[in-house]
Amino acid sequence: MKLQILRAYQQYKEQLALVVYLLAVIILAPQFAQLVGLAWENSQLTLALANLVILVGLGSEVVVFSFIGLLIGLLGLMTIDPKKRWPALLLWVGFGIVVYFLLSAGQLLPQSFATDTLVWIVPGIIVGFVFGGGLQALRLSSIGPTEFRRGTWGVYALVSLVVIISLIEIHVEYPQFLQVGSENFTIILPQDLGVGFNADGIAVNAGIGLLSIVTVRKFMQYDAQEEFFILGPPSSGKSLLLIGAYLEALKRGDDKNVRQRESLDPSQDLMELIENLDRDASDWIVEATGRSELRDLRFKYVRGSLFPKNVNISSVDYAGEHLSRIPASLKGEIENPDEELSLITEGIEAADTLILLVDVERFVNKEGLGLAEYFSILEAAGNKGVVIVATKSDIFADAMWEEQEIDPQQSFGEFRQYVEDQLCQSEQFSSLLRQSPGSEVHPVYYETEFNDEGERVPVRDENGSVVTVGFDRLLNRLG
């Protein structure tokens, strides 16, 4: 039951987040408007600085409209940013509610102002557009979807600045030292420089301000925060796992225009392995990693549609023989470890989640799963997330079809449970599953067939590409 709830959450978490954020914006926006309006009424320095434009024949509403224009310019960039369209829509809703409440209450703007001052929104929009990086959208050389990170963070900075200034103006009592007249301004040197603090309503106002900042901060993130590292026994398919995941990420952009596809930024080592796909259509595309060989395998992909994030997947692909030395290295018991072991140890320590591979072929051939080191590694590594991946699951896919005539691709949930039930016949695997609460097995495989020598080799489709299964769901989990 818990796993079913977890799977449902994984499937609909973006839609749930959208509803929660929308409710948060609708509830917070009127409170935020009240906070800003109260600060404007009680302000001394802020209002005096805004009134400085009187000296050049303008009214304070010019400053207000320019600030609104700046915010509109930054929100506009968020709107055309493919990764921030839904967050921008939520912020537009909040912005509209705040402006409506302020105008309805007659705050921030005078009861009557010249309509031609509305034109001052335009300079603000231009400044916001330029500052937020909008010029790069006009360059013909710009390839692929554009991220306006400066514009997005500009919105966050403005909201944070407004909250901080509002709290200061409402709750900090300070002497007036700037007076603005119609023709000049005067700097006042007060005799009493004492500063007081008005605690009335501070908890409520600070709470509104903090929640507003936190809510907007949630919309700023472009990159997923979770780092992954892959561990596996010798010949368990570490390289093939990264290749399959990359190929799946590559397919996700096939329905987009070339200029709209995200760059996956694959590493050179990964591309060298991918290159082998075109060399031999009758055998496996990679061989097991050598004892002293290290491969830097990494790429990124975009996860999500409502709140997309860049997910970076990287691993130092190493010979599986290093696995037995990792626990001692994590505990600092190995003096002067070699370069390979040092990089592996650093990768584990930097990771938030460890991807533990279980070799199905070993299980079927009764060779022993080789998982003993996982327990010591998890203990030495401390508080790490765990994702268990069953590689070479094509063996179980064939067995399930023969036993139940169920196509694993059509009934992947049943297949996932079948794989877990089979592997749980191993006490070692069952213990690993119990040590990783909330984890479930993610079976992945390349479709295979038997060659003349009776060996499994990858199946190729009509385009000559290998056929992968389960990697799409794995990417969803990692994202």
pLDDT, tens digit, for every residue of 358-375? Answer: 999 999 988 888 888 899
Share of the chain above pLDDT 90, in %: 28
Same-domain check for residues 197 and 345: no
Determine the pLDDT at residue 439: 78
Same-domain check for residues 124 and 83: yes
Kindly report the number of other CB atoms within 10 A of residue 118's CB atom: 14
Share of the chain above pLDDT 70, in %: 80
* Residue that the structure tokens 């300079």 belong to: 123
Q: Which of 158-172, 257-271, 400-414 has the lowest mean pLDDT?
A: 257-271
pLDDT top residue among 205 and 436: 205
User: Can you give the residue range of the structural domain that contains 244?
Assistant: 228-478
Domain count across the chain? 2
Mean pLDDT confidence for 217-239: 84
Kindly report the number of other CB atoms within 10 A of residue 31's CB atom: 18
Same-domain check for residues 152 and 256: no
7-34 pLDDT, tens digit each: 676 678 889 989 999 999 999 999 999 9
Determine the pLDDT at residue 400: 92
Determine the pLDDT at residue 425: 92
458-467 pLDDT, tens digit each: 888 877 788 8
Displacement of CA 117 from its chain's centroid (Å): 41
Determine the pLDDT at residue 72: 94
In a domain, 296, yes or no: yes
- Computed over every residue of the chain, the mean pLDDT equals 82
β-partners of residue 390 are 358, 443
Domain end position, chosen among 166, 194, 218: 218
pLDDT top residue among 141 and 351: 351
Determine the pLDDT at residue 140: 45
Please provide residue 441's backbone torsions phi and psi, each rounded to the nearest 5 degrees: -80, 135
Under DSSP, is residue 478 helix (H, G, I), strand (E, B) or coil? helix
Q: Which of 236-250, 275-289, 340-354 has the lowest mean pLDDT?
A: 275-289
Given a cut of 70, is residue 479 above it in pLDDT? no
In sequence order, what are the residues at sequence separation of 6 or more whose Cβ sits closer than 8 angstroms to the Cβ of residue 333? Answer: none
In a domain, 298, yes or no: yes
Same-domain check for residues 473 and 441: yes
Given a cut of 70, is residue 384 above it in pLDDT? yes
Domain end position, chosen among 186, 218, 250: 218
In a domain, 1, yes or no: no
Residue 160, classified by CB atoms within 10 Å of its CB into exposed (0-12), middle (13-18) or buried (19+), is: middle
Helices and strands in the chain, H and E counts: 17, 14
Same-domain check for residues 27 and 75: yes
Domain end position, chosen among 163, 185, 218: 218
Same-domain check for residues 150 and 288: no
Given a cut of 80, is residue 293 above it in pLDDT? no
In a domain, 40, yes or no: yes
Considering 60-64, 94-98, 289-293, the range whose residues carry the highest mean pLDDT is 94-98
Same-domain check for residues 287 and 376: yes
Cα separation, 235 vs 359, in Å, equals: 8
Cα separation, 471 vs 201, in Å, equals: 53
Kindly report the number of other CB atoms within 10 A of residue 184's CB atom: 9
Q: Which of 127-136, 233-242, 318-327 has the lowest mean pLDDT?
A: 318-327
In a domain, 140, yes or no: yes
Same-domain check for residues 144 and 105: yes
Q: Which of 132-141, 332-341, 422-431 has the lowest mean pLDDT?
A: 132-141
Given a cut of 60, is residue 215 above it in pLDDT? yes
In a domain, 214, yes or no: yes
Mean pLDDT confidence for 247-251: 86
In sequence order, what are the residues at sequence separation of 6 or more whose Cβ sits closer than 8 angstroms to the Cβ of residue 272? Answer: none
- CATH code of the domain covering residue 262: 3.40.50
Same-domain check for residues 309 and 183: no
Under DSSP, is residue 394 helix (H, G, I), strand (E, B) or coil? helix
Q: What is the largest CA-CA distance in the chain?
A: 99
104-153 pLDDT, tens digit each: 887 666 555 556 677 888 888 888 888 888 877 666 444 555 788 899 99
Mean pLDDT confidence for 199-219: 92
Mean pLDDT confidence for 43-54: 67
In a domain, 223, yes or no: no
Same-domain check for residues 178 and 32: yes
CA distances for 127 relative to 60, 175, 226, angstroms: 19, 33, 35
Same-domain check for residues 232 and 154: no
Same-domain check for residues 98 and 59: yes
Residue 122, classified by CB atoms within 10 Å of its CB into exposed (0-12), middle (13-18) or buried (19+), is: middle
Kindly report the number of other CB atoms within 10 A of residue 121's CB atom: 20
In a domain, 2, yes or no: no
Nearest to 445 by CA among 364, 385, 374, 367: 364
